[in-house]
Structure 1
Amino acid sequence: MAKLNGPFDFSGNLGNFSVYKMRGVDKLVVRRKGGPTKEQVNSSPTLARTRENNAEFRACTMLTKGIRSAVFLVNHLGDLRFTGALNSLGKQMQMLDKTSKRGERGISLSRHGSMLAGFDFNAEMPFDSLFRHPLTVNTNRRKGTATITIPGLIPGISLNLPWKAPFVRFLVSLGKAGDVRFNGTTFQRVEVGTAHQQYRITEWQHTGAASAPADVTLQLDKGAGRGESLVLAIGIELGVTGRYGEIEPAARAGAAKILAVF
Structure 2
Amino acid sequence: MANQKGFIKLRGSLGGLTFYENKGKDVVRTTGGVEKDRILKEPAFKRTRENMSEFGASAIVGKALRMGFANIIKSMAGNYIVGRITGLMKRINSVGPGIRGQREFEILNNKSLLEGFEFNKKAPLDSIFYATSDPPSLDANRSVATWLVPDFNTSNYINPPEGATHFRLVLAVTVLSDYAYANAIKGYEPVAPDENETNGIAFSAEIPIGGMVGSDTTLSVDLGFAAALPLTVGVVTAVGIIFYQEINTAFYELASDNALKIVLVG
Q: TM-score, normalised by structure 1?
A: 0.81
The aligned residue for residue 97 of structure 1 is: 96
Q: Specify whether residues 224 and 106 from structure 1 end up closer, same or farther in structure 2 by C-alpha distance, changes over 3 A only.
A: same
1:200 is matched by which residue type in structure 2? A
The CA deviation at 1:255 is: 0.8
**Matching of residue 229 in structure 1 with residue 234 in structure 2:** yes
- C-alpha distance in 2 between matches for 1:133 and 1:34: 55
- CA distance in structure 1 between the aligned counterparts of 2:27 and 2:123, rounded to whole angstroms: 38
Which residue in the other structure is 1:186 paired with? 187
CA distance in 2, matches of 1:245, 1:35: 59
Contact 1:71 1:233 in 2 (8 A): no
Return the offset for 1:174: 1.4
> What is the letter of the counterpart of residue 77 of structure 2?
G
Of 3, 9, 12, which aligns to 2:24? 12
Residue by residue, what CA displacement relative to the aligned partner does 1:156-182 show, whole Å, maximum 9, x if unpaired?
A: 201112432111111211121111101
Amino acid at match of 1:158: Y
Comparing 124-133 with 185-194, greater Cα deviation is found at: 185-194
Q: How far 1:259 moved relative to its partner?
A: 1.4
**Where do 5+ consecutive residues of structure 2 fail to align?**
1-21
In structure 1, C-alpha distance between the alignment counterparts of 2:26 and 2:219, rounded to whole Å = 53
**In structure 1, what is the equivalent of residue 151 of structure 2?**
152
Instruction: Check 1:121–1:252 CA distance in 2 against 1; reply closer, same or farther (3 A cut).
Output: same
Q: Any stretches of 5+ residues in structure 1 without a counterpart?
A: 1-9, 18-31
The percent identity for this pair of structures is 22
Cα distance in 2 between the residues matched to 1:172 and 1:160: 19
TM-score normalized with structure 2 length: 0.80
* Closer, same or farther: CA 142–34 of 1 in aligned 2, 3 Å: farther
SS of aligned partner of 1:259: strand
Paired with 1:135 and 1:84, the residues of 2 have a C-alpha distance of 31
Question: Radius of gyration: which is bigger?
Answer: 2
Superposition deviation, residue 207 in structure 1: 1.0
In structure 2, the residue matched to 1:171 is 170
